[in-house]
Structure 1
Amino acid sequence: MAAYKNIVLEKGMYGMPGKSFTQVLEEMDNSENYRGTPLEGMDAYQRQLMRFGIRVSGPGSSTVESFFGSSASAALFPEYVARAVRQGMESATKAADIAATVTTIDGLDYRTISTGTGHDSKSLKPVAEGAELPQTAIRTSKGLVRLHKRGRMLVTSYEALRFQKLDLFTVTLRQIGAYICGAQMQDAVDALINGDGAKPGVGFMEGAPSYSDFIALWGKLAPYTLNTVLAGTDAMQKLLNIGEFKDAQAGMNFQGTGRLCTPLGAKLIHVPTMEAGKILAMDRTCALELVQAGDVCTEYDKLIDRQLERAAISVTAGFARIYEDAAQGLSYTV
C-alpha cells in the first residue's frame, strides 16, 4: 500500500480543465484502495504530504521550507495554500450558507433560469375536471450573472517565510479566506438590494427595527419562510436591543454559544459592510443561487517556483436571484 510514493508530481496537474489538484491525484491514487489500512481516512493529497514528511499543523509542524526540498514536493505547496484559504472561508459565515444552491462553472459566462414569481403561480387552486392545470414557466434568464473576483495578493519573499512554521502561516492564509467570505457576503447583499442584472432588487417597507415590524416583514414574505435576516452593524445593534431579544433563553443562547437568533427563529447574520438603515429578510432555501467559477485559485507557477513577491489568491463568484419575492427588506432612518 505504498504505491502513492510513485506518483510523479508536477505543476501541470493544476491546469487540468474542470479538475482540482486533489481530484487529479485521486484519479492516480484512489482513496478506496486504502480501506482497512492505517491510511484510511486520508485523501490523496494528505498521503503525498505523508510521503514527504510534511506536517501542516499541530505539534511538530513543519516549516515552509519543507515543501521545497524537491521539485515534486514543491508541487504540493499551492494546494496547501488553497486548502488553508478554504479553511478560513469555511470557518467564517459563508455565502453558501445563505444560498439555496451552489453552481460551479468552468467559464465566466452563465445564465440562470427564471420562473414565474407571482403569488398566484404558487397557489394550488382546485382544478375542475377536464380543465388545464396552472403552469409554471421556466425560461433562461436574459442577463448574465455578474461574477466578481475576490482575493488578496500575497506579498512576501521566500527568504522571509522559509523558516516559519506552517501552522503559523496557515493563520494568515485563513484570514485571507475570511476576507473573501466577507466580500462575497457583500456581493450577495448587493444582488438582493440592487438586483442581479436580470431581476430587480427587493422591495423595502418603511419602519423601524421593532418586533411589530418583524411581524409585518414576516407577513410580507409569506408564503415563504422567514429563516434568515441580514443586517449591518447599526441594524444589528438596534435589533439586539429589541425587548424580545432580551428574554432568558435568547440571552443564554447568545452568551453561551455566540450564535444570534431572532424572536421569529430566523438566523441573524451580521454583514459589517452592509449599508446602514436597511435590513434584509429572506427564505434562504429559494432566494439566491451562488455561482462560482472553479475553486480557490492560486498562481501555482509562482508558488512552486518560490516567486512569492506577488502571488495572487482569489475566488471568482457571483449571485443570481431565484424567486424575486423570496426576499424582502425593511428600511429605517439612521
Structure 2
Amino acid sequence: MYNDIKLEKGLYNLSGKSFTAALEELDPSSAYTGTPLEKLDAFERQLKRFNIRISGPDCDCVEKFFSTTETAVLFPEFVTRCIRKGFNETVLRSVCAAKTVCASSQYLGCVLDDSEAYAATDQADLLPEATVREGSTATVLSKFGRLISASYEAVRQQRLDVFGVMLRSVGVRLAVTVVKEAVDVLIDDLTPITTSALTYDDIAKLYGEFDCFDMTTVITSPELASKIAAMDQLKDCPANADGKLMLPLGSELIKTSAVDDDTIIGIDRDFALEFITSTDLVMETDKLIDRQLDQMTVSITCGFRRITPDAVKVLTITAANS
C-alpha cells in the first residue's frame, strides 16, 4: 500500500520511467478501484500520506516538502507537474495532429506523395498511386529550457498554490518559445495569399483556400486576433469549451506572440503538424532534493514536422499600417 512505499532519489533515475511511473509500479492505482482513493494517482497518494496540501484554504507552504528526507523526494515531481501543466495549457495542444517520441536528437519521418488526381478508374486500368517513402531531410530536435534560481530561504514560507502558479507561468513562457518553432515549420516554403488591409472577406478567402481539408484553427498574433475579434461578423460568435473564440466559419481563433503581426495561419489541426520529442520535461532532481531549491533547471528537447502541406494555408498583410 501507499503508506509502505520507501521514497528515495533513485526513483527519478530509472531508465525509461518517470517518477510517477516508478511509483505506480510499486503502488498500482488499479488496487484502489472502488475505494475513496481511486481518483488519485501514485504521486497524489504520497501527498495524502504525508498530509501535504498543495491547494485549498489550508494549503501548505514550500517548507512542508522538506520536513523529512522522504517528503523532499516528492518536491521535484511537484515542480515538474506545475511547469508541465503550464506548458500543456498553451496552443501546442490545439495545433499538433500527432506526437512522436524519438530516441535520438534527429528524426527522419515518412513523406506521402499523393499528387495524382483522385478520379474514377476504368476496369482493368491501374489505380492511381499514392507513395509513402522515407523523408530525405531529418528534423533536428532543439533543446529549450530555463534555469530558475530560488533560494530556500526566499520561498520556504510561500504557499504551494501560489508557488505553483509561478511555476506554471514558466511552463507557459517556455511553450511559447517552442510554439515559435512550430510556426516556422508550418509556414516554411508556403506561398501565402496577400491583402493590403485585413477584412473579414480575407479570412473567408483563407478559408476558401482549403480543398480536401478544413480550416479548423486560425493562428495569429495578439494584435491581429484583437482586430479579428472586433469585426462585426464576430459580434455574436460564442467561445468554445476552452474559452477560445470560434469564427463563423467554424474555426477556433488562437492568439500567440509566436506569430508575426502580418501573418495569419489557417490549419487543419488533424492533419497539419507532428510534434517530435526525445524527452518529456526534464528536471534536475538531485539539486532540488539535496540543496533545498537553490537552482532548478527544466528543459525539453523537441521539434516539429509538417505532415500534410495542403492542411496549412497562410495569409499575409502587406500594408505596414494594417
TM-score between the two structures when normalised by the length of structure 2: 0.92
Q: CA deviation at 1:18?
A: 2.1
8 Å Cα contact 1:14/1:300 also seen in 2? yes
Q: Is the 8 A contact 2:91 2:254 kept in 1?
A: no
Residue 85 of structure 1 aligns to which amino acid in structure 2?
A: I
2:252 corresponds to which of 267, 271, 282: 267
The aligned counterpart of 2:62 is 64
Cα distance, 1:12–1:143 mapped onto 2, change above 3 Å: farther
1:103 aligns to 2:100 (yes or no): yes
Question: Any idea what SS the aligned residue of 1:280 has?
Answer: strand
- CA drift of 1:210 comes to 2.0
> 1:309, CA displacement in angstroms?
2.7
Aligned AA for 1:110?
A: Y
Cα displacement (A) at 1:256: 11
- C-alpha separation in 2, matches of 1:149 and 1:57: 32
Equivalent residue of 2:206, what SS?
helix
Higher share of residues assigned strand: 2
Instruction: Specify the SS of the correspondent of 1:75.
Output: helix
User: Which residue is 1:149 aligned to?
Assistant: 143
- Matches of 2:86 and 2:168, distance apart in 1: 4
> Structure 1 pair 30/223, CA: closer, same or farther in 2 (3 Å)?
same
Q: 1:258: how far off?
A: 5.0
Instruction: Summarize the alignment of residues 263-302 of structure 1 with structure 2, pairs less than 5 Å apart.
Output: 263-302=248-287
Q: Of 121, 125, 131, which aligns to 1:127?
A: 121
* RMSD of Structure 2 on Structure 1 (CA): 2.1
**CA contact 1:180–1:315 (8 Å) conserved in 2:** no
User: 2:90 — aligned with what?
Assistant: 93
Q: In structure 1, the residue corresponding to 2:254 is in which secondary structure?
A: strand
Aligned to 2:46: 48
C-alpha change, 1:295 and 1:54, in structure 2 (3 Å) is same
Give yes or no for the alignment of 1:24 onto 2:9. no
Question: Are positions 1:205 and 2:159 aligned together?
Answer: no
Aligned partner letter, 1:44: A
1:318 maps to which residue? 303
Partner Cα distance (1:229, 1:117) in 2: 25
- Quick one: which amino acid aligns to residue 229 of structure 2? L
Q: Which amino acid aligns with 1:217?
A: L
Structure 1 stretches of 5 or more lacking a match?
A: 195-200
The alpha carbon displacement at 1:134 in A equals 1.9
SS in 2 for 1:23: helix
Secondary structure of the equivalent of 2:145? strand
Contact 1:218 1:226 (8 Å CA) reproduced: yes
> Which SS does the other structure have where 1:155 is aligned?
strand
Counterpart of 2:207 (choices 196, 203, 218) is 218
Q: CA deviation at 1:307?
A: 5.0
Asked if residue 305 in structure 1 is aligned to residue 269 in structure 2, the reply is: no
CA distance, structure 1, for counterparts of residue 242 and residue 292 of structure 2: 42
Inter-partner Cα distance in structure 1 for 2:241 and 2:50:
42
Q: Is the aligned partner of 1:189 residue 2:183?
A: yes
The aligned length equals: 318
Counterpart residue identity of residue 198, structure 2: P
In structure 2, what is the equivalent of residue 114 of structure 1? Answer: 111
Runs (5+) with no aligned partner, structure 2: none
- Are the equivalent residues in 2 in contact too, given 1:117–1:323 (CA < 8 A)? no
